[in-house]
Amino acid sequence: MSEPRLISSYLAVLAAQLPAPIVEELADGLTETHRSYLRQGLAPDRAAESAVAEFGEPQAIVAEFARVNPARRAARRLLGIGPVVGACWTVALITDRAGSWPVPLAVRVLVGVALITFIALLAAAALSMRYRLAARAGVAGCIGMATLDAVLITGVTFASAPLTWVMLAAMAASTARIAFTARSLVPALAR
């Protein structure tokens, strides 16, 4: 049985915004809903209209899937714990007079730009109601932030500066964030 054009175009709207497995599941449900209306005696086109109306606005469905996207949820959590890790590093770098370390200005600027970029990506993922944008920005922001944490830890380790307890606390906070990010990203990358 060929599906009515209304159902095909409805699914095409979803397919343009959601991954194939999700669309396949929705297509199965929509087809069953359409068949249910056919069994009730409605004409095919009328049954399709009723099925689509019952399913709801495609944008509402996309927004709900975006909301439960693992990458979006990971981004929101990282934004939540970010100020704590950031505060640890701020205190550590000020206390240890990191301003006097022999780090080239270009590297300092690069780290600052990277930090702002990754925070922007995480914010885009956390706020977006578009599934693919939330997924891509979330994964990129999480990986970027974990990389930045690793760079900071490595940089401080090889900076030949004395490791004070505040610096160790900042490094521990970053290490914990890397582990948390890795665990959060597994379900995001699995789909």
Partner 1 sequence: MRAEELKGHLDAVLLAALEGGPRHGYAVIESLRQSTGGRLDLPTGTIYPALRRLEQAGLITGSWSVVGGRRRREYRLTAAGTRALTGKRADWLDFSAMVSSALEGRPCPSPV
Minimum gap (Å) between residue 39 Cβ and partner 1: 12
Q: How many CB atoms lie within 10 A of CB 150?
A: 13
Minimum gap (Å) between residue 18 Cβ and partner 1: 10
Cβ distance to partner 1 smaller for residue 77 or 117: 77
Which residues are at the interface with partner 1 (CB under 8 A)?
A: 21-22, 24-33, 54-58, 60-61, 64-65, 67-68, 70, 73, 187
The Cα 126–Cα 137 span in angstroms is 9
Tokens 């054009």 correspond to 5
Buried b (16+ CB within 10 A) or exposed e, 70-96: bbbbbbebbbeebeebeebbeebbeeb
Cβ distance to partner 1 smaller for residue 48 or 88: 48
Minimum gap (Å) between residue 173 Cβ and partner 1: 26
Question: φ, ψ for residue 69 (rounded to 5)?
Answer: -60, 130
Cβ distance to partner 1 smaller for residue 66 or 148: 66
The Cα 138–Cα 128 span in angstroms is 10
The two structure tokens encoding residue 10: 């409805």
Cβ distance to partner 1 smaller for residue 26 or 146: 26
Minimum gap (Å) between residue 91 Cβ and partner 1: 35
